[in-house]
Structure formats: C-alpha cells, structure tokens
Structure 1
Amino acid sequence: MIIDAWAQHPTLRHAQDPIFASLHRWNKTEPPKEEIPLSLTIAAMDAAKIEKSLISAWQAPGRDMISNDEVASFVKKYPDRLIGVGSVDISKPMQAVREIKRCVEDLGFKAIRVLPWLSEAPPTDRRFYPIYVACCEMGVPFCTQIGHTGPLMSSEVGRPIYLDQVALDFPELVIVGGHIGYPWTQEAIAVATKHENVFIDTSAYTAKRYPEELIAFMRGHGAKKVLFGTNYPMIFPQKALEHLDRLALSDEAKELFLGGNAKRVFKI
C-alpha cells in the first residue's frame, strides 16, 4: 500500500491565490482558470499506484482557501481513496478548538494541519497551544510544514527546532512535519530522533532530491520515522516516486516509508 501523507485537491481560489506565484514560476505553469475536477486527482493517484491520499484543507487567517467542508465533500465522493485533514485559524482559538472537534467527530478527519508561515508565527506561538490540546484530546496528529517556504513568506517560522519545545510541552501529541525541513533537515532528524511522537514527511520533494542525511536516516534508525508525501498538485505522485530505487532502502524500510508509517501514525 502506498499512502500519500500530504496532498490537496485545490479549489480555484486556492490555485489562483497570488501567494503561490513563486511556485508557478518554478514549475513554469500558469494558475488554472477553471475548477480542477476531482477525477484528475484520482487519476494522478492511479498513475502512481497511490492507494490513499490524505487531502488537506487550507485555512489562512481570515479566509478559507480550501474549507473543511469542501474537503469533506471530496472524501465523500471517494471514501476509499481520500482521507480528510482539517485546518483551522489559530487567531480564533476557541472557534478553532470547536472546529477541530467537528472535523474529527462529524467529518471523520484523521489529522489537523496548520502552516506557521500563513500566520507568520512559529509553532511555539501561544496561539497554537489550544490547537495542540484539542488534537491531543481528539487523538489526531498535528501536521505542519518544516523548512523554507516556496511562497514568498518568511521561512524562519518553519525551523524544525521549534517542534522540540512543542514536543516537550505535549509529549502525547503526534506531530508530522512536512517538506523534510530543508535546509534544516538535520534539525528535523534530530527532533524526530529525540521525540517518540515526531515524524517527517517528504512532501514537496521528489525522491531524487532527498538530502543524503535524510536517506541515511531512512535506511537506519529512522526507518519508522519518515512518511512518503507529494504536496500534490505541486508535484504529481508519479514524479515524486521517480528514482525511488536511488534510496536503496531495504524491503522493510521501503514498505514503512511508502505506507506502513502513515498507516500507523494516522490510524488508517
């Protein structure tokens, strides 16, 4: 089983948001002019033999880029293929706590994702702490981005070392840091090694671009700590999996990376 730990089916307002101009420049693409059909996302999964994708809502301060209800509607159409990941606005803590409960209890989501750079606040900011409590109480992982930001926003808030303090304060909280933490990948590995419930996902990077220190971690004592992810549609699953053999993983490590770890972490 291959599970994509970080994907999204973008709404048109998400895909056209000016914040992603730098990504379109990198990929030499133009923002879409029409809504992307959900069938295209499923076809992209099929092409790479992805059995399940965790698709994320996007909540920026004051606006839904991809709402939780939209994600729920996507999952409803393909319940055997898509798994919902909710998002909340940390500037409204009590509303966010209630929304996390709704996401888990009513919508059946398996995790909550909040991106620090959207609020220009590190994960140690006091506004995040009610989110962590709610995730602990609801028994779902907290997912976030670690590393530099592709969009033209501050990267400092993505330093993986911030998660060290969060994990110390909330040892019960399962934390998944996406985007491998580059250029601070060694920080990410150190934090994941130190804390039982901290994990890394490889979204936004193709296998060809994984840093050597991450590959060594996956081959060794970090085999149970790294999850495959794409950040689709930025990277299509088939492209993300190219050069997978370059990693030279054992059969066991490869199975854990592609699906076993995600299955355990997200209770799939």
Structure 2
Amino acid sequence: MTVVDFHARLVPGATEPENLLAVMDAAGIDRAAISAGGLIPLDRLAAQIDEGGRAEAAADNEGVRRAARRSGGRLLPFFFADPVNDLSTYRSEAVDFKGLEISPAVHGGRLDDPSVHDLVAVAETAGHPVYLVTVARPGAGPRDLARLAGRFPRVTFVWGHCGHHGLGLAGLDVLAGCPNVLAEISGCLTVTARRAVTRLGVGRVLFGTEYPLQAPAVELCKVDALGLDPAGRSAVLGGNARRVLGEEIR
C-alpha cells in the first residue's frame, strides 16, 4: 500500500525538505502534497481564525516548487494563492503544480468573491484539486463551500481538516450532498473523521498530517482508530489521494 499525505506544509528554513522527508520515512509515508507554510505567526493565525482579518502575506510557492523537484517525485507541490494578488502568477505557473490552496483564515475574503472564482476557473483548466479550510465567518463556511462546489462541478474540492475547529459534524452534513467535495481529516477529532466516512463514504476521505504542526504518527493512529476494512484503509491512506491527484504511484 502506498501512503499519501494529502496535506503537509513546507516551512521556511535550510532544513527543508530534508527534515520533512525524514519524518515521512519514519512514519512510513511515501508521498506528500505540500503547500507553503509559515506565512504568518501562529498566534496571529489563531486570532484571525477567531476574529477575522486579512494578512498581506505572500506564500513561497517557488520554494515549494524547488523542494518538490529535489524530492525525487515524493513531494507534490500545491500553489498557495492569495485571491487578491496571485491570479496571474497561478495562471502562468499552474503547469508546475499539482493543486491549488485558498485560505480564508490567512487571506480573508469570501468564497463567492469573483477573485476566488477566477482562481478556481484556472484550477479547473489545469485539472487541479482545490484545498480549502472553511472558517466561521460570513461567506467562508461549509455552505459557502457547497455553493462554490456547485458552481464548479468538474473541480474536486478538498475540505481541509473537516473545518477549522475539529468538530465539523454540521459541515459534513452540508457537504455530503456535494459529490465533488472530499474531506481531509488532519487535525479533526476521531468522531469527526468517523462521521466523514459514514456521511461521505470511504471514497471521499483523505489522510493528511498538517506537518509540522501535527505529528504524523498521531494522524496515522487516528486512521487506525476508524476500524476500516483493508480496502477502506488503503483508500483513505493513499488510494483516494492518488485518484484526486491523477498520480501513477508505483
């Protein structure tokens, strides 16, 4: 079985991506989808999740691209886009990436904003999945993601962490009727991950780690705690990611 981490972050510093690859080896993770990390301090991110706000913070997408090239194919780069500033860059560089991330927690805004729609339209053309964590603010919650997914039925959306607070049961109910939305379960409670399997089906659930904020072993234990049969466990740990990413992994 090939294990694919659908959500890890590449943090700034000279120790990456070697440290990430070493952590993956220790945990038995074969490949990982990576986005830029460290855009804003964690205290500010936590405050923005609770209170709102926008950071004029540019992601090091070029660093992510370089790290992926150095990884021998093990790291799959996602473009982390600020809807206000990054449309033209994403459009011109999409061919070098495997997916798109949009973050209302970092960059603020609403999912019905035309700038978000423009980014998703580029992702549709590129064949990219769109990773997105909803937050409890007008225009950026699960119902807003459901409407966005309905507007772009040919795009696969990945609901990061099953929402921002670990207990996104209501969000799962909202998104269950959106077949092009999958749930990524890093950081959420086991009860939420189990509900994701029940409500969405095992084919719509993705393993992730949220490295370096979470220890991969914790997330692997959570998958084990779900009590999946071998086929379901294989799907969550890698098969679904392979399908979403269009990756042939030997």
Give the alignment's TM-score, normalised by structure 2: 0.83
1:63 maps to 2:64: no
Number of residues of Structure 1 aligned to a counterpart in Structure 2: 230
Unaligned runs of 5+ in 1: 13-34, 149-154
Shift, 1:216, TM fit: 3.8
**Paired residue for 2:102?**
114
Shift, 1:127, TM fit: 2.4
- Alpha-carbon distance between aligned partners in 1 of 2:112 and 2:199, rounded to the nearest angstrom: 30
**Paired residue for 2:52?**
none
What is the CA deviation profile of residues 19-45 of structure 1, one whole-angstrom value per residue up to 9, with x for unaligned ones?
Answer: xxxxxxxxxxxxxxxx43421111100
- Alpha-carbon distance between aligned partners in 2 of 1:238 and 1:262, rounded to the nearest angstrom: 19
**Paired residue for 1:86?**
79
- Alpha-carbon distance between aligned partners in 1 of 2:241 and 2:122, rounded to the nearest angstrom: 21
Shift, 1:162, TM fit: 1.2
- Alpha-carbon distance between aligned partners in 2 of 1:183 and 1:239, rounded to the nearest angstrom: 14
**Paired residue for 2:131?**
143
Mean CA deviation greater in 180-189 or 244-253: 180-189
Task: Name which of 228, 231, 236 aligns with 1:257.
Answer: 236
What is the CA deviation profile of residues 147-189 of structure 1, one whole-angstrom value per residue up to 9, with x for unaligned ones?
Answer: 56xxxxxx66652121111112211221111011245622332
Question: Residue 171 of structure 1 contacts residue 197 of structure 1 at CA under 8 Å; is this kept in 2?
Answer: yes
**Paired residue for 1:101?**
91
**Paired residue for 1:53?**
32
Shift, 1:220, TM fit: 6.6
Question: Residue 17 of structure 2 contacts residue 71 of structure 2 at CA under 8 Å; is this kept in 1?
Answer: no
SS in 2 for 1:42: helix
Shift, 1:117, TM fit: 1.6
Q: Report matched runs for 1:109-258 at 5 Å.
A: 109-147=97-135, 158-181=140-163, 182=165, 185-205=168-188, 209-210=189-190, 212-219=191-198, 222-258=201-237
- Alpha-carbon distance between aligned partners in 2 of 1:68 and 1:223, rounded to the nearest angstrom: 31
Judging changes above 3 Å, is the alpha-carbon distance between structure 1 residues 97 and 241 closer, same or farther for their aligned structure 2 residues? same
Question: Residue 203 of structure 1 contacts residue 228 of structure 1 at CA under 8 Å; is this kept in 2?
Answer: yes
Question: Residue 188 of structure 1 contacts residue 200 of structure 1 at CA under 8 Å; is this kept in 2?
Answer: no
What is the CA deviation profile of residues 125-155 of structure 1, one whole-angstrom value per residue up to 9, with x for unaligned ones?
Answer: 332111111111221111111356xxxxxx6
What is the CA deviation profile of residues 80-127 of structure 1, one whole-angstrom value per residue up to 9, with x for unaligned ones?
Answer: 2101001222113xxx3332233322x2x1101010121222322332
- Alpha-carbon distance between aligned partners in 1 of 2:239 and 2:214, rounded to the nearest angstrom: 21
Question: Residue 147 of structure 1 contacts residue 180 of structure 1 at CA under 8 Å; is this kept in 2?
Answer: no
What is the CA deviation profile of residues 171-208 of structure 1, one whole-angstrom value per residue up to 9, with x for unaligned ones?
Answer: 12211110112456223323432112111101234xxx
SS in 2 for 1:87: strand
- Alpha-carbon distance between aligned partners in 2 of 1:99 and 1:238, rounded to the nearest angstrom: 35
